[in-house]
């Protein structure tokens, strides 16, 4: 180990193999031989690990801090009945984040005052990097009196952030200081990675559920930890030390403000080269400080902003709503927590009769407008498992939609982790305007006449073949604007609430379209090439700016299957 003593890294042979395969040097820390040889290892930060290894760790990790009242798991004080100390309406529990990639910083920090039975008060402090516990700064100490404990907590807050504690807790006043931490404003509740059902609870919960069996099974999926863990892992917001899925609306609003401010700045940016790079770098540091990531990077283009900032923020927002709806199911499931969450939804979900005309119509619409999802050399078809009829007080009443002009039944893509919020609150417009698909029409609700588009969005991984497609009735209004390229400015569209049809490279065969009921058009037809081959859109997209013009009608539960793209449905429905 003389090389190690001289500061020369000693790595496994796998480092060389993986670096050649991926055509770039891999992080040395993930292949460190000394870590493998030492009894405890030195801890490998998640942002330095191979993404595959990080994913495995993430999915098996327990959430250590579930919300504003959560006692950090590593203290082990929750096992002694420990609770977060509360005084004068303030909970003494703070979490922080700091990202500065230029200086190699991507740290979190947690500090808590915890009271255990017999009024013993403890101060817990931890600062470090995700996955690198052996190198974290950590302390847990019992304090002799309340005043001293509060004073020390306040002192630490000011040392870590450069801000005063009370103005933050009472009025949310805070000024980010250079190289100082920023608070992750936790909400009072249970983040889904803690509160939702673990794998061992799923079967028992469904057995004790009083809901109709197919609806109980749907709620079992919606209330499982798994779909939310996967979603946060895929987005890179899966830090087990911070409850990213249980933050306040204020925190989400601050993230949105930072994102919109950056988009405006970069759209009007005249500088190029290093000056432009500095703007992107500054935003990246701010973003990953507000939204702590296990895989931070420097944003380079609008597509990355769309995927890793805008869509991710919408995803975290939806998961936060799911956290509040699910609550804490970590205890006994005999009391039927699935029915309790279902009742909180304010939504009626019922299976559609498989012998009904509507079932046939939906299967046909899916079959006609589907293209296989391609993953490498493989192609995936879908089979329909179930179709649910949805009624919710969050949607505009059907009688109101019925009166509106230009009604179309359209497909909407949704990840399973977003669905509870959609059902509870209805669709929300996109968070921003960007010149890329999904955001190019501005702050709009975007649907498609191609099930292929929704299926592509809903498909997440080969080992998780189940998903849901949403069918919604959308009124495009009296005036429909057709666009084949991103509009330069979406403000006028948003203000006039004009319906927009974005023309894609592929379209559905119009000669096969039909009217369903109440003048609702169904653009069901074989997918064919359009005359707009230079369009940035693969399929036609429809943008609606007013949520009162969109009503979710059906959830289509599907299973993605590797095949030579023949349609298959449960009980042979839809076969021709």
* CA dist list (Å): 194 to 59, 108, 250, 293, 549: 12, 19, 22, 19, 36
| Residues in the chain where the model's pLDDT stays below 70 | 1-15, 18, 21-24, 26-43, 332-333, 459-464, 563-576
3-state secondary structure 372-419: CEEECCEEEEEEEEEEEEEEECCCCCHHHHHCCCCEEEEEEECCHHHH
What local confidence, expressed as pLDDT, does residue 59 receive? 83
Residue whose tokens read 């080992």: 463
What whole-number distance in Å separates Cα of residue 457 and Cα of residue 459? 6
Alpha carbon distance 368, 450 (integer Å): 9
Residue with tokens 């299973």: 559
- The Cα 284–Cα 299 span in angstroms is 6
| Residue 40 pLDDT | 36
Is the distance from CB of 436 to CB of 536 less than 8 angstroms? Answer: yes
pLDDT at 565: 45
3-state helix, strand, coil in the chain (%, to 5): 40, 25, 35
**By three-state DSSP, how is residue 518 classified?**
coil
CA-to-CA separations, 312 to 234, 265, 305, 338, 534, in angstroms, rounded: 10, 20, 9, 27, 28
What local confidence, expressed as pLDDT, does residue 39 receive? 34
For residue 196, what pLDDT is reported?
A: 94
Cβ-based neighbours of 329, under 8 Å, separated by 6 or more = 195, 196, 197, 201, 205, 223, 337, 341
Angle, vertex CA 133, rays to CA 132 and CA 134, nearest 5:
95
Q: Which token pair is 410?
A: 């359209």
């Amino acid at each position: 180990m003389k090389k190690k003593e001289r500061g020369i890294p000693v790595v496994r042979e796998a480092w060389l193999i993986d670096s050649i395969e991926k055509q770039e040097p891999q992080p040395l820390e993930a292949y460190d031989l000394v870590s493998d040889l030492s009894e405890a290892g030195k801890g490998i930060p998640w942002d330095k690990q191979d993404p595959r290894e990080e994913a495995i760790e993430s999915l098996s990790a327990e959430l250590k801090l579930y919300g504003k009242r959560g006692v950090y798991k590593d203290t082990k004080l929750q096992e002694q009945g420990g609770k977060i100390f509360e005084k004068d309406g303030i909970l003494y529990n703070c979490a922080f984040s700091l990202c500065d990639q230029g200086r190699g910083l991507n740290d979190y920090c947690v500090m808590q005052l915890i009271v255990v039975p017999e009024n013993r008060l403890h101060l817990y402090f931890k600062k470090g990097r995700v996955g690198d516990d052996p190198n974290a700064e950590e302390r847990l100490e019992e304090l002799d009196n309340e005043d001293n404990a509060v004073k020390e907590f306040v002192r630490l807050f000011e040392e870590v952030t450069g801000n005063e504690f009370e103005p933050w807790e009472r009025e949310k006043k805070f000024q980010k200081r250079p190289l100082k931490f920023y608070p992750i404003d936790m909400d009072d509740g249970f983040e889904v990675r803690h509160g939702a059902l673990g794998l061992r609870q799923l079967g028992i919960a469904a057995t004790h559920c009083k809901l109709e069996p197919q609806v109980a099974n749907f709620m079992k999926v919606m209330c499982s930890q798994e779909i939310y863990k996967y979603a946060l892992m895929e987005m890179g917001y899966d830090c087990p030390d911070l409850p990213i899925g249980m933050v306040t609306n204020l925190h989400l609003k601050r993230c949105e403000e930072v994102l919109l401010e950056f988009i405006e700045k970069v759209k009007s940016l005249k500088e190029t080269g290093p000056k432009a790079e500095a703007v992107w770098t500054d935003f990246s540091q701010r973003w990953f400080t507000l939204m702590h990531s296990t895989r931070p990077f420097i944003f380079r283009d609008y597509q990355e902003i769309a995927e890793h900032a805008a869509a991710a923020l919408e995803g975290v927002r939806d998961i936060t709503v799911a956290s509040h709806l699910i609550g804490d199911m970590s205890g006994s499931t005999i009391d039927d927590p699935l029915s309790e969450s279902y009742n909180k939804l304010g939504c009626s979900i019922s299976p559609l009769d498989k012998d009904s005309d509507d079932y046939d119509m939906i299967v046909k619409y899916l079959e006609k407008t589907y293209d296989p999802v391609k993953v490498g050399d493989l192609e995936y078809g879908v089979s329909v498992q179930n179709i649910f009829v949805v009624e919710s007080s969050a949607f505009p009443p059907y009688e109101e939609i019925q009166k509106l002009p230009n009604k179309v039944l359209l497909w909407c893509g949704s990840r399973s982790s977003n669905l509870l919020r959609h059902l509870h609150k209805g669709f929300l417009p996109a968070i921003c305007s960007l010149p890329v698909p999904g955001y190019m029409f501005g702050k709009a609700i975007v649907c498609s006449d191609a099930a292929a588009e929704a299926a592509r969005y809903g498909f997440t991984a080969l080992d998780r073949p189940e998903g849901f497609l949403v069918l919604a009735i959308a009124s495009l209004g009296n005036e429909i604007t057709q666009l084949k390229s991103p509009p330069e400015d979406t403000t006028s569209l948003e203000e006039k609430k004009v319906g927009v049809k974005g023309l894609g490279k592929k379209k559905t065969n119009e000669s096969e379209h039909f009217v369903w009921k109440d003048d609702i058009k169904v653009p069901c037809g074989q997918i064919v090439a359009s005359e707009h081959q230079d369009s940035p859109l693969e399929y036609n997209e429809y943008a609606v700016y007013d949520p009162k013009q969109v009503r979710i009608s059906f959830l289509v539960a599907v299973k993605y299957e590797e095949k030579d793209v023949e349609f298959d449905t449960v009980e042979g429905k839809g076969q021709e």
